[in-house]
Structure 1
Amino acid sequence: MTAEPGTGGRTSVVIVGGGTCGLAAACELLQLGLSVRVLEADPEPPKGSRAILLWPLGLDVLRHLGVYEEAVRRGLPLRALVYHLDGGRRLRSEIGAENEALLLPQERTSRLLEEKLLRLGGTVERSARVTDVVDDGRVVIVKTQGPNGGELIEADWLIGADGLGSTVRERLGIEFPGTTLPTTYLAAEGRVDGEAELGAVHYFLRSTGPMVFAPLRDGVTRLGTPIAPGTALVEETVQQLLDLRGPGGLRVRDLDTLATFGSQERIAATLRKGRCFLVGDAAHTHSPIGGQGLNLGLQDVHNLAWKLAGVIAGSLDAAVLDSYDTERRQAAEQIVVNTGRFTRMFTLGPAAARVRNAAWRLLEATGMLRRRLVPLLAGGRVRYAPGPLTAEPEQGHRLGGRGLRQLPAPGSRTPSWVPPAGAGAGPAFRLVTTGPAESGPAREARSLTATLPQLVGHQHLSRPGAGFLLLRPDGFVAASGTTAEGVRRAKALLTGLAARPA
């Protein structure tokens, strides 16, 4: 490596990539008191948005960063998914509060996060193209090239958030196995004249071909549909496809975005190599059907930030960082499988589509469409398997069952009845107890938090039934149960995570 050494001293964390995930990572780490540098190769923020939908886990990250309310003001709450079948038949699935979703183009999400970054004292260093990354075990050395020459930057840790064609992944020699899917999609965004229900995403599943139709704020609509290779990218094509596959009676005008993209299913061979981590599209990619891509990347960041901050601060053992690859690989694998299924359902041929539509009509009639399909689309079924940060379920606990007064199993998302931790909450666990204040779990919880005040705080809720939840800083359940013994096992889990004396 030959370049001028950096003049700003060694940085705690260098983030390569100033897109949505890189911005979120910078904001989380700055809130936790770390020094960061954000390097972005492009001179300007990108125009247009591939992602438009934030599901509950993505919104949790915005809430943690204190920008949730502003996101809602700039977006459009999603109330329903509407499936349009041949013959004018419509199936409607209400989203419901537990699957809260927001239609917000990714360009606006990135702008919101960059504004937050500036308020935190950070910035995006644009036109800073990373050309090499070396991890010598003690420090990460990043070589950049810009308009004014090159620079060598030293950092304790590096986060690669530089997208599908990640330079970080390539320079670290991390393979990106998987497959390229055969379907090419057209994405168009602009003004469409005609009546269209706001607050709903419309799936047209007709024998003429599928189409997704999503009215956004300010009169803008997003269209997505599979197309044949070589299809002309002109407004007339969009109009023809809309007439053929859409609701009819709509007129396309003033398109701001018109592009095609392919789809792949890939997960990096490792999401951590030494002092370097991959997040977002640099780590994994999958079918766009279902709108999970950006949400998955934001959760990567949320999973990593508190662990990294805890290790740097000396409160967590460095081995905690190994869980990043394990857990986020589990999440990515689950999302890849689910979006693959959605894609196959979405792109069936005419004969198979008729069978699918008949099955969906039955599911709607029984209420199963909303109870099963919407939570899957929302990403709410993502689970972490038992491991160093996730306890085994208490004996007799059945995931999704009622044996523990509907307490969620370890590895699942914090339930909606637990008050949010609040914006900027530190890298500490929360031990939430319910039932009588002098129950066994509540007494044991007070003892635990007095013993490990640097790792966990206690909150008691006046809610029927004695029980407890040990909640991780990223909003997932580390342990749950109804007994004092369960709380003592949770204490053993926390003790195992604490940094060892030097």
Structure 2
Amino acid sequence: MTDVIIVGGGPVGLLLACELKLGGADPLVLEAATGEERRTRSLGMRSLNARTVQSLALRGLVEPVAAAQWATLDEFAAHREPADADLVAMLVELLQKGQMKGHFSGLPLLDESGRAEYLMLKQDRLEAVLAERAAGMGVRIRQGCAVVDVTQDETGAAATLADGRVERAAYLVGCDGGRSVVRKRSGFAFEGTPPTMTGRTAVAEPDDPGAVPSALRGPGGLVNRSLVPGEIATIEFDAGPDVRDVPMTAGELEASLRRVTGRDVVVKRLETGIRYSDNTRHADTYRRGRVLLAGDAAHVHSPIGGQGLNLGLQDAVNLGWKLALVARGLAPAGLLDTYTAERHPVAARVLRNTRAQVALMRPGSQVEALREVLAEVLRLPDADRHFSAMVEGTDVDHAPGTPGGVGRFVPRLEATPADPSGGPTPADPSREQTRSDASDEQTRSDPLDGPERARPVAELLRDGRGLVIDLSGADGLHAALAGHRDRVRAAHAAVPGDGERVPAAGGPELLLVRPDGYVAWAGARAGLGDALTAWFGPAR
């Protein structure tokens, strides 16, 4: 029987599949859409914030995603309209200089030091990178497989397809979007606030391109010409779209442009278009028995601010290693409860700030005054840090107030592998038999094999195992992991210069870092065994 069925093969589902496969589980991805449908939902640009970029770095994915970004922007440069040239050139320059951090309701957040971690690309380009990685790992992906029902019992979950076939697995994860069949059929509550706006993005050709401004905030709403050549977007604050599934027409977009701009715009051709709103809802929990939710299936909100994709990708990174351990029988099912406990508050915070961003986009002199005041506030260093951390996802703390950095993303430091070979050391041969050949090959070709040297922690997490970092310089750490070496590797923190590393007075001797990069535990060696069991299951 399959370990995990993933319903939905967008970026969240694909990244989750990669994480599960890396953890030794056998996932099956069922995606309803095929070519044209997938292209339509990829309208507009998507941003990857700092925390998502840091997470992708843990798996060696930043380089191919960045390459896809620049290929996309080069393609756009060859087809840009003269009226959009300055805006596109400015954004490209900010990305090249490492100054782009994102925005809050259109108010830019910039890093003058040039250390920002931020990427922009079309969703289909990101999906292509993740699909290639998944295929290379041996993940099974089936397109054109619409799931119409989901059931579960004490031993597993089942997905019924539109053609009547039934697929069964130990667990099932809904990554199937805001109108998730998995969520609806599995009884998750989805409360929130109704829409107050209608957004439209379309590939269209106006009769006079100059009649559509590059960017405008006016009494009727907003309009802008996308970075993507040929794309036009409008937002009207009109209580939400009347229809969602009826294809957009040139007449519909033309009417919206006229209301927003006050100009007699004529749209002579519309290729494709989508509608969206600020409908904001949140699942009461992300797990019901053997069924879980991730991405838009668990939370929907306004796309203003570009946080939705990042929120979903972070769900996948948080859930993947945990579900792999549980599905393989290495950790108890209770570990999955930490998924809701950790990710639900993060999403609630995003839903709150996206509501605020929508409010700041509304037309009117009072809102304009508020935007001017906030723009002044954002020039204050402390305010800039606060809003930037919120938008970049770097303020996430799964254990607020806990010392030793527990609950926070691992600090930037280097460490030297303590494993004798520098590579994976399974506790017993049975681990190799539970992983697919593709996943085994990826593990055996670990870039850490070779001469022992200090490496960034991100590299040490690349094989999907946890990491115990010794801060004291004591020996015997590798042996202390004994029955957990199939799930956790050991490393010594690198120390500049000579001499032994001694932890700061009152500081921890060890850090236990999870596969997703967050510190799970910090303390003395005597407590390591209990921490390993709590987060990675019993010793083998």
TM-score after normalising by structure 1: 0.76
Residues 182 and 120 (structure 1 numbering): CA distance in 2 closer, same or farther, change over 3 Å?
same
- Residue 36 of structure 1 aligns with which residue? 27
User: Shift of residue 92 of structure 1?
Assistant: 6.3
How many residues of Structure 1 are paired with residues of Structure 2 in the alignment? 444
Residue 140 of structure 2 is aligned to residue 103 of structure 1:
no
- Residue 310 of structure 1 aligns with which residue? 325
User: Shift of residue 382 of structure 1?
Assistant: 2.1
User: Shift of residue 121 of structure 1?
Assistant: 2.7
**Structure 2 unaligned regions, length at least 5:** 71-94, 243-250, 415-455, 497-501
1: CA distance, partners of 2:104 / 2:288: 46
Q: Deviations over 1:354-396 (max 9, x none)?
A: 13313422431x334532222211121122136xxxxx623xx
- Residue 77 of structure 2 aligns with which residue? none
1: CA distance, partners of 2:320 / 2:346: 17
User: Shift of residue 105 of structure 1?
Assistant: 1.3
- Residue 378 of structure 2 aligns with which residue? 363
User: Shift of residue 444 of structure 1?
Assistant: 8.3
Q: Which amino acid aligns with 1:111?
A: A
Greater share of strand residues, 1 or 2?
1
Residues 120 and 254 (structure 1 numbering): CA distance in 2 closer, same or farther, change over 3 Å?
farther
- Residue 485 of structure 2 aligns with which residue? 453
- Residue 532 of structure 2 aligns with which residue? 494
- Residue number among 410, 416, 433 corresponding to 1:414 in the alignment: 410
Q: Which amino acid aligns with 1:73?
A: A
2: CA distance, partners of 1:168 / 1:257: 27
User: Shift of residue 452 of structure 1?
Assistant: 4.2
Correspondences of 1:367-386 after superposition (within 5 Å)? 367-385=381-399
- Residue number among 360, 364, 373 corresponding to 1:345 in the alignment: 360
Q: Do the aligned partners of 2:221 and 2:237 also contact (CA within 8 Å) in 1? A: no
Residues 60 and 242 (structure 1 numbering): CA distance in 2 closer, same or farther, change over 3 Å?
farther
SS at match of 1:133: strand
- Residue 475 of structure 1 aligns with which residue? 517
1: CA distance, partners of 2:346 / 2:104: 30
- Residue number among 13, 18, 27 corresponding to 1:22 in the alignment: 13
Q: Deviations over 1:173-229 (max 9, x none)?
A: 2221111131222334679989xxxxxxx987677755666636xx57674544547
Q: Do the aligned partners of 2:280 and 2:300 also contact (CA within 8 Å) in 1? A: yes
User: Shift of residue 471 of structure 1?
Assistant: 1.4
Q: Deviations over 1:436-489 (max 9, x none)?
A: x53xxx558566435743443222233477355321111112234xxxx54544
Residue 166 of structure 2 is aligned to residue 155 of structure 1:
no
- Residue 126 of structure 1 aligns with which residue? 143
SS at match of 2:275: strand
User: Shift of residue 333 of structure 1?
Assistant: 1.2
Q: Deviations over 1:242-280 (max 9, x none)?
A: 799xxxxxx999876543311222111221111111111
1: CA distance, partners of 2:112 / 2:13: 29
1: CA distance, partners of 2:69 / 2:284: 35
Q: Deviations over 1:4-49 (max 9, x none)?
A: xxxxxx2111111122211222222223332222212224351132
2: CA distance, partners of 1:430 / 1:451: 14
Residues 384 and 182 (structure 1 numbering): CA distance in 2 closer, same or farther, change over 3 Å?
same
- Residue 79 of structure 1 aligns with which residue? 99
- Residue 402 of structure 2 aligns with which residue? 393
1: CA distance, partners of 2:464 / 2:331: 9
Which range moves more in the overlay, 376-385 or 352-361? 352-361
Q: Which amino acid aligns with 2:38?
A: P
2: CA distance, partners of 1:206 / 1:412: 42
2: CA distance, partners of 1:172 / 1:99: 40
- Residue 322 of structure 1 aligns with which residue? 337
Residue 271 of structure 2 is aligned to residue 233 of structure 1:
no
2: CA distance, partners of 1:490 / 1:353: 55
SS at match of 1:182: coil
Correspondences of 1:171-320 after superposition (within 5 Å)? 171-188=185-202, 209=221, 215=227, 223=233, 225-226=235-236, 228=238, 233-234=252-253, 238=257, 241=260, 258-320=273-335
Residue 468 of structure 2 is aligned to residue 431 of structure 1:
yes
Residues 104 and 159 (structure 1 numbering): CA distance in 2 closer, same or farther, change over 3 Å?
same
User: Shift of residue 291 of structure 1?
Assistant: 0.7
Percent identity for Structure 1 against Structure 2: 29
Q: Do the aligned partners of 1:455 and 1:494 also contact (CA within 8 Å) in 2? A: no
User: Shift of residue 93 of structure 1?
Assistant: 2.3
Residues 433 and 350 (structure 1 numbering): CA distance in 2 closer, same or farther, change over 3 Å?
farther
Q: Deviations over 1:313-356 (max 9, x none)?
A: 33323211121121121221121122222222233632232133
2: CA distance, partners of 1:416 / 1:288: 31
SS at match of 1:52: strand
- Residue 137 of structure 1 aligns with which residue? 154
- Residue 4 of structure 2 aligns with which residue? 13
SS at match of 1:46: helix
User: Shift of residue 236 of structure 1?
Assistant: 8.2
1: CA distance, partners of 2:110 / 2:383: 7
User: Shift of residue 285 of structure 1?
Assistant: 0.9
Q: Do the aligned partners of 2:279 and 2:302 also contact (CA within 8 Å) in 1? A: yes
- Residue 181 of structure 2 aligns with which residue? 167
Q: Do the aligned partners of 1:38 and 1:125 also contact (CA within 8 Å) in 2? A: yes
SS at match of 1:475: coil
User: Shift of residue 54 of structure 1?
Assistant: 1.0
1: CA distance, partners of 2:493 / 2:383: 33
Residues 29 and 97 (structure 1 numbering): CA distance in 2 closer, same or farther, change over 3 Å?
farther
RMSD of equivalent CA atoms = 3.8
Residues 112 and 423 (structure 1 numbering): CA distance in 2 closer, same or farther, change over 3 Å?
farther
SS at match of 2:537: coil
Q: Which amino acid aligns with 1:374?
A: S
SS at match of 1:373: helix
Q: Which amino acid aligns with 1:323?
A: T
Q: Deviations over 1:263-318 (max 9, x none)?
A: 22211122111111111111111121211111111111111111111123333232
Q: Deviations over 1:100-150 (max 9, x none)?
A: 11111112111222222222233432222222222111122222123xxx2
SS at match of 1:177: strand
Residues 103 and 313 (structure 1 numbering): CA distance in 2 closer, same or farther, change over 3 Å?
same
Residues 20 and 101 (structure 1 numbering): CA distance in 2 closer, same or farther, change over 3 Å?
same
